[in-house]
Amino acid sequence: MPTGNWIIERPSGGGSGGGGLVVGFVINDGTAGNNIGPMLPAPRTGSLGRLVVVTKVSDALDLKFNIRMNDETILEADIVIPANNGAGLLDLFALEPAIPVAVDDVFSIDITQGSVTWKFTVQLE
């Protein structure tokens, strides 16, 4: 079974004001599966306009995933990270239009293609 952790962080100072909303997933097993890792609610209202992927370990199979909010897919198509992506490589994706988020919206990640070898982080900002 795939394993992973994900975190929703409050910027310094916490509370409902100032700073951007960040939702982050840490995945240590890229095997295809739904609802990988725990699910946590957004700590406040905000919007997400960018998705950043950092590859730690890849393999010869492309990685494909999508993000869910309140059990609904929020991206029109899967994010694809190419096979043999370099360690520490950043892949940046603009989310247009930005995705509005309400306090207590719940996020999860589905991997539609990958392998146990893939290790990566995904950050929505």
Q: Are 26 and 6 in contact (CB under 8 A)?
A: yes
Q: What is the pLDDT of residue 43?
A: 86
Cα–Cα distance for residue pair 13/31, rounded to 1 Å: 36
For residue 50, with 0-12 CB atoms within 10 Å meaning exposed, 13-18 middle and 19 or more buried, which class applies? middle
pTM exceeds 0.95, yes or no: no
Residue 19 has a pLDDT of 57
**Confidence (pLDDT) at 62:** 98
Mean pLDDT by 10 residues, the chain (125 residues): 39 46 91 86 92 96 97 95 95 94 96 97 94
Into how many domains does the chain fold?
Answer: 1
Which domain CATH number covers 111?
2.60.120
Q: What is residue 121's predicted lDDT score, i.e. its pLDDT?
A: 95
- Euclidean distance between the first and the last CA atom of the chain, given in angstroms as a whole number: 28
| Region label for 55, one of left (φ > 0), alpha (ψ between -120 and 50) or beta (otherwise) | beta
Per-residue model confidence (pLDDT) at position 59 = 94
pLDDT at 88: 95
Domain containing residue 18 = 4-124
Whole-number pLDDT of residue 36: 87
Per-residue confidence (pLDDT) for residue 40, from 0 to 100: 77
